[in-house]
Structure 1
Amino acid sequence: MPIEVTPPKYITIINAIQQRIQDGTYAIGSTLPSESQLVQEFSVSRPTVVRAMEILRQQGWVDAQHGKGRTVRDRPATESRALPAHTTALLNATEVGDVTILQAGEVAAPPRAAAALRLPEGAAVIARRRLMRVAGVGPVELSTVYVPTALATDSDVAAQEPLTGGVLSHLADRAGVTLDHVVERVSARIATPEEARLLELPERDALLTLLLTVCDSAGVPLLAVDILIPSSRHELEDVFPLG
């Protein structure tokens, strides 16, 4: 069975608070629930709540004043930053040449994808699973694109045929959505037997995992891409300016 990864509890709190600010549940200038209330609501420890609130403060979602609690700020302005080269390549990859479509169609969202898309676990989504090979190297990437069914209705994401322009440009054209920014989460784990077989890896070899969540300008997730790459066949490198 595939290994499903549940997001850390502080991430669950951050996602919930951001969603409530965006949908108006917590109005700009209003006071957030106390730490004790959040501890009770999310069934977590106080340090977990404090960590989530500090990240929200650093990101500009809330203000914290001693003795007055935490209040909601306007949606923070997103600092312009170039998309890392490896993320650009992963998101814009076409499905021609050495890409095999392993699966395309409606599935129940696994926990990792559901959390990224802010959907209930098991909600219907369109999944597009792909295996990429490089001549002389072998399989270098196993990825699954998850798209909410409502967004995929007028698209070919569920088709078995390759999308020559890539999934992002296809959805932008067909669904008429504007893709604004990407949230990237990087982790590592041991490959499952099925993953090791598809990627032609030794049993229990390590995988680098990248979860890319593509959002609109309001921060609403539009699609998620769960990418598995063999650590022995990839090296990610980027250059960033200082200051």
Structure 2
Amino acid sequence: MSEDAMYAPKYVRIIETLRRRIEDGTYPVGSQIPSETALGREFGAARPTVVRALNEMQLLGELQREHGRGTFVKARPSSRASDSNRPGLAVLDRQETGASVRVLETGRRPAPNQVALLLGLAEAAPVHLRRYVGLYDSIASELVSLWAPLDVARSAGLDQEGPLTVPVRELLAAAGKERLTRVHERLRARRATEEERAALELGEGEPVLAVLGSVEDSAGRTVLVVEVALPGSLHVLEDSYNL
């Protein structure tokens, strides 16, 4: 696993391993990869974690999942594929569907202190919040919150009610005058909040892996703050390195 992917959730490890095997010819284009059950046994992962990894790769055009037949290699990983190794950035490239997300709320909200600081706004300044539960194999696998300045949300179309059929990164790029240039992302483990427990149907005291990311444009403005809460029972932090 690369240094900048240290302590990544387990679904990222599955993605990276499958990509290495595609690159080295273990799984050539057109070949079938192991079943979800086999991958779960190999990586010690719950089925929703395996499904999430395969879905991410399918959205990027690397895999083709065929009902009743299995999962096949469609193409070699692209140079942009490494972006999905970062949990916060991965949500920016996701095309939402009614089956993959359950939108909880969208609208004008006062910015929490941490979000306001990242956006360069006063505490409790009005911002646009878009919050949804990510579903994998019909199981709540993540709680995503997207916080944007009101003008950014309006121009990019982040304020629509249903699933976004165009990925957030593309909406931001098309609406802004400046290029998106950098994402700062932090990952830590903590106890789930009451809101996270309810949305993700977590047990008492169950931890989450919390991702906080901020997206900057070429003018140095933070145009979006991304929060992702991953259930600790489904996503394990892992790393490997040479002694």
With structure 2 as the length reference, what TM-score do the two structures score?
A: 0.59
Q: CA deviation at 1:129?
A: 0.3
| Structure 1 residue runs of 4 or more that deviate by more than 3 Å after TM superposition | 235-240
8 Å Cα contact 2:107/2:159 also seen in 1: yes
Q: Deviations 1:42-62 (Å, cap 9, x if unpaired)?
A: xxxxxxxxxxxxxxxxxxxxx
Q: Tell me: CA distance 1:150–1:200, structure 2 relative to 1, closer, same or farther (3 Å).
A: same
Higher relative contact order (CA 8 A, sep 6+): 2
Q: Tell me: CA distance 1:153–1:110, structure 2 relative to 1, closer, same or farther (3 Å).
A: same
Q: Map 1:184-203 to 2 at 5 A.
A: 184-203=185-204
Equivalents in 1 of 2:103, 2:180: separation in Å?
24
Q: Map 1:1-243 to 2 at 5 A.
A: 83=83, 85-87=85-87, 88-96=89-97, 97-135=99-137, 138-235=139-236
Q: Deviations 1:69-126 (Å, cap 9, x if unpaired)?
A: xxxxxxxxxxxxx646134423212221320111111111011211221211101111
AA aligned to 1:206 is P
RMSD over aligned Cα, in angstroms?
A: 2.3
AA aligned to 2:85 is A
Equivalents in 1 of 2:188, 2:220: separation in Å?
22
Where is the helix percentage greater, Structure 1 or Structure 2?
Answer: 2
Q: CA deviation at 1:227?
A: 0.9
Q: Tell me: CA distance 1:110–1:233, structure 2 relative to 1, closer, same or farther (3 Å).
A: same
Q: Tell me: CA distance 1:124–1:235, structure 2 relative to 1, closer, same or farther (3 Å).
A: same
Equivalents in 2 of 1:95, 1:83: separation in Å?
17
Equivalents in 2 of 1:224, 1:185: separation in Å?
12
Q: Tell me: CA distance 1:83–1:239, structure 2 relative to 1, closer, same or farther (3 Å).
A: farther
Larger deviation, residues 184-193 vs 83-92: 83-92
User: Higher Cα Rg: structure 1 or 2?
Assistant: 1
With structure 1 as the length reference, what TM-score do the two structures score?
A: 0.59
AA aligned to 1:98 is S
Q: Tell me: CA distance 1:125–1:239, structure 2 relative to 1, closer, same or farther (3 Å).
A: farther
Where structure 1 has 5 or more consecutive residues not aligned to the other structure, the ranges are 1-81
Partner of 2:49: none
Q: Tell me: CA distance 1:90–1:154, structure 2 relative to 1, closer, same or farther (3 Å).
A: closer
Q: For this pair of structures, how many residues does the alignment match?
A: 159
Equivalents in 1 of 2:229, 2:235: separation in Å?
11
Equivalents in 2 of 1:94, 1:189: separation in Å?
28
Q: Tell me: CA distance 1:172–1:206, structure 2 relative to 1, closer, same or farther (3 Å).
A: same
AA aligned to 1:203 is E
* DSSP-derived class of the 2:233 partner: coil
8 Å Cα contact 2:143/2:228 also seen in 1: yes
* DSSP-derived class of the 1:103 partner: strand
8 Å Cα contact 1:107/1:124 also seen in 2: yes
Equivalents in 2 of 1:176, 1:162: separation in Å?
25
Q: Deviations 1:170-208 (Å, cap 9, x if unpaired)?
A: 121133441101000112221122211210110121011
Equivalents in 2 of 1:151, 1:103: separation in Å?
18
8 Å Cα contact 1:107/1:125 also seen in 2: yes
8 Å Cα contact 2:106/2:161 also seen in 1: yes
Where structure 2 has 5 or more consecutive residues not aligned to the other structure, the ranges are 1-81
**Percent same amino acid at aligned positions?**
35
8 Å Cα contact 1:84/1:238 also seen in 2: no
